[in-house]
Amino acid sequence: MVRHFIFIISFLVLPQLSLLHILTHHEHLFLDLNGFKPINDTLGHEAGDILLLTVAQRLPQAIRECDYPGRLGGDEFLVILQDIGARDNAKKVADKLQELISQPCLLKGQTICVSASIGISLYPDDATDINSLVHRADQCMYQAKQATLADKALKEMEQSMPNK
């Protein structure tokens, strides 16, 4: 059973996931924070750590007790959903995670907002082994991040154009 994983505690809130111990018969959400690096670079690593801790504390609010959130490293997180059923259900969880992650956070006297790019992989639709499931979720997350960057660039371009 998945509860018998051996986890190393990261930030005393979420486990550092060891991919060697994750069973494959689950759905995976791969999360990467958008805008983390500039916050870490401008406000410092302590502020970055506080932001990661805040996100880590928010993840369990969006999932069931039988699901498992964990930090992979840096600003990447993996959420394992047990028996979620369909991609639409996993998407609902991803939307709820996005909503919670996007809530403002106070860092060094500044209100900071970040979002997350989230990729979803489902067993057995996307893959049947753990490495392939995580890789597929990572690929989907990267596509979501690229779409977010393209949307942001388009909005910036539209804002810089003179009004007609």
According to DSSP, residue 94 is labeled H
Helical H runs in 15-128?
Answer: 36-43, 45-58, 87-101
> Cα 32 from chain centroid?
5
**Two structure tokens written together for 126:** 């996307």
Q: Which residues are catalytic?
A: 75
Q: Do you know the residue count of the chain? A: 164
